[in-house]
Amino acid sequence: MSTLISGSIDLSKIDKSKLKDGKYLQVQISVNDTTDNYGNNVAITVNQTKEEREAKEKKTYLGNAKVVWTDNVIKTADKVDAPSAKVENDSLPF
């Protein structure tokens, strides 16, 4: 583990039409180099579609947070391909 972030979001700002499968919300979490007046250096917003970004629509700000611990190493996650549903096996009789 290299970083812990603690914060809160305002659930009343969530547009229910943005929920995937009625329960998942894609968010963007930005860690800034500077802190605000309350010691927060993390912003949480709802992900925007490409069309929303191109139209320069205002981001929906959900809340803020702060980095509370770090070992000063943040690594990007490796891309993991979804496992293939197709299984090929010549030993199967069908």
Quick one: which of 4, 39, 10, 41 has its CA closest to 27? Answer: 10
Residue 12 predicted with pLDDT over 90: yes
- CA separation for the pair 34, 37 (Å, rounded): 10
Extents of the domains making up the chain: 3-69
Residue 88 predicted with pLDDT over 70: no
Q: What is the pLDDT of residues 31-64, one digit of tens each?
A: 999 999 999 999 999 999 999 999 999 999 999 9
- CA separation for the pair 60, 13 (Å, rounded): 7
Q: What is the pLDDT of residues 35-44, one digit of tens each?
A: 999 999 999 9
- CA separation for the pair 43, 45 (Å, rounded): 7
Residue 72 C-beta-side C-alpha neighbours within 13 Å: 0
Quick one: which of 64, 45, 59 has its CA closest to 5? Answer: 64
Q: What is the pLDDT of residues 66-77, one digit of tens each?
A: 999 988 887 788
